[in-house]
């Protein structure tokens, strides 16, 4: 069987990426890659790619939570992604912050799970609030927070091109 490479964490100009949806699509057509367009708290690009049906794509979003963790949330179709956005992202958006919202982490994960999503913890040891280390230190009264998060995700991102190599190595050795 032929292998297909799929980038599961890509941003467009709809959040903090540079390429347009068309540029991402053209790159995928040229290289034979698939993609999940996971803009920060935004689904426009992912829905557009899904509707065009020109490349292999998995509808997705990167959701930032109140606590600072970010999750890559994938759905089998754009309709379910839109439903998730309406229920779990849009009502919690913060006008001043692209990558965060005020949805609590556990609520974000539970709604996604109830809606049939596949969930990955993005860049688990990135800097600041995004790090599991920060979560461990800041939640001393609730030591099980990180364990609860990890138990609710299907995957943990091991490689992210936007973080230093040592952060990726730490993710790869986690658990």
Tens of pLDDT, residue by residue over 154-167, are 999 999 998 999 99
Distance from chain centroid for Cα 104 = 15
Residue whose entry in the numeric block shows the structure tokens 């540079």: 18
Least confident of 38-47, 51-60, 68-77, 97-106: 97-106
Question: What is the distance between the alpha carbons of residues 151 and 123, in angstroms, rounded to a whole number?
Answer: 16
> Looking at 1-15, 48-62, 63-77, 110-124, which range is the least confident one?
1-15
Give the CA distances from residue 68 to residues 19, 27, 171, in Å, rounded to whole numbers and listed in that order.
25, 31, 17
Specify the 3-state DSSP secondary structure of 155.
strand
Q: What is the pLDDT of residues 75-118, one digit of tens each?
A: 999 999 999 999 999 999 988 778 889 999 999 999 999 999 99
Q: What is the per-residue pLDDT for 142?
A: 65
Predicted local confidence at residue 112, as pLDDT: 98
Give 75's DSSP letter. Answer: -
What predicted TM-score, i.e. pTM, was given to this entire model?
A: 0.94
């Amino acid at each position: 069987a032929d292998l297909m490479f799929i980038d599961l964490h890509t941003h467009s100009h709809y959040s903090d990426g540079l390429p347009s949806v068309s540029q991402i699509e053209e790159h995928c057509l040229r290289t034979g890659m698939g993609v999940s367009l996971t803009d920060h708290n935004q689904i426009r690009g992912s829905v557009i790619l899904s509707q065009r049906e020109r490349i292999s794509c998995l509808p997705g979003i990167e959701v930032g939570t109140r606590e600072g963790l970010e999750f890559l949330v994938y759905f089998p179709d754009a309709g379910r992604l839109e439903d998730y956005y309406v229920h779990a992202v849009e009502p919690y958006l913060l006008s001043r912050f692209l990558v965060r919202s005020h949805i609590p982490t556990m609520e974000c994960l539970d709604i996604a799970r109830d809606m049939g999503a596949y969930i990955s913890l993005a860049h688990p040891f990135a800097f600041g609030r995004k790090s599991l280390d920060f979560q461990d230190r800041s939640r001393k009264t609730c030591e099980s927070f990180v364990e609860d998060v990890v138990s609710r995700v299907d995957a943990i991102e091991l490689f992210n091109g936007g973080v230093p190599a040592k952060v990726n190595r730490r993710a790869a050795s986690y658990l």
